[in-house]
Amino acid sequence: MHIRNLSNLECTRLLSGNRLAHLACAKDGKPYVVPIYFAYAENYLYAFSMPGKKIEFMRANPEVSLIVEERGHGREWKSVLVEGRFEELPDRIGHKRERDHAWSLLSKHFDWWEPGALKPVTPPISDHSEHIFFRVFVEQIYGREAKEV
Amino acid sequence: MHIRNLSNLECTRLLSGNRLAHLACAKDGKPYVVPIYFAYAENYLYAFSMPGKKIEFMRANPEVSLIVEERGHGREWKSVLVEGRFEELPDRIGHKRERDHAWSLLSKHFDWWEPGALKPVTPPISDHSEHIFFRVFVEQIYGREAKEV
């Protein structure tokens, strides 16, 4: 396998073309990893979340790490690692355009996008009002590609 | 979708039947997430790693979080979240049996198991002597299943 670094442009293309990431956050030295669905736009990853452990952790410590992976042919792959900062976007401070855009991209992942936070016996969700809307500012980005030689 | 908690037995079965996890570790409040390949045995996840950031982080703070996911039919899934502690297993303190067992299970993922740590222009790896062998003691385990209703 030949491994090469991806350019910044290749990294942001991969983020634009994918929805699923694994996000790590940490509070008081305890890390926590969960899958999330996101929509990338202009150096931010936008996402919705039910209230729960990851929101509690990110409110306490906004530093996060995310990885997005794309499988290629055979054993080929690309991955992008993001170091970023959590920012909560309450309804009252605007961001309606970003919220609607992210919701339109993400709502099709609706009933299984939250494997970690979706609680047993959660009632069906009829709209997105109970979700917390947040974004991650991309501070650092690293990408790699593995190609068969 | 119907969501239910998995029993401990179901969780350990899922860990036994899978190899790929996402691991989060944290140092000085900075989380870091990477994919790893592991082999489960008797309340431990065994893994190999090239030296690098995650080893540096876990040596500084052994607390880790891992998630293992299994896709089912359609949009069904199961996931197991592990809270655990990193333990490094140098050759000199034994663990040959566990090492050989883990190596035999994991060596087929050989040349792409380390998307995060595999450096561009790394020379081909001819044996496992340069890898760090470690395990994660499973302290807490949580599992969920989503089934179509």
Give pLDDT tens digits for A56-88: 999 999 999 999 999 988 888 999 999 999 999
Contact: B24, A24; criterion CB under 8 Å? yes
pTM: 0.87
**B106 to chain A nearest CA, in Å?**
15
Contact: A115, B77; criterion CB under 8 Å? yes
Please spell the DSSP secondary structure of B11-56, one letter per residue. HHHHHHT--EEEEEEEETTEEEEEEEE-EEETTEEEEEE-SSHHHH
pLDDT class for A129, splitting at 50, 70, 90?
low
Mean pLDDT of B91-101: 76
Contact: B67, A119; criterion CB under 8 Å? no
**B5 to chain A nearest CA, in Å?**
7
The two structure tokens encoding residue A71: 């499988």
User: Each residue of A5-60: pLDDT tens digit?
Assistant: 999 999 999 999 999 999 999 999 999 999 999 999 889 999 988 889 999 999 99
**A107 to chain B nearest CA, in Å?**
14
CB contact at 8 A, A23 and A66: yes
Q: For residue B120, give Cα distances in angstroms to A8, A20, A80, A95, B116.
A: 16, 25, 14, 40, 11
Q: Which residue has the higher pLDDT, B82 or A147?
A: B82
| Amino acid A114: pLDDT | 52
Name the interface residues of B facing A (CB cutoff 8 Å): 1, 3-5, 22-26, 29-35, 61, 63-67, 69, 75, 77, 79, 81, 83, 111-112, 115-116, 118-122, 144, 146
Q: What's the one-letter identity of residue B47? A: A
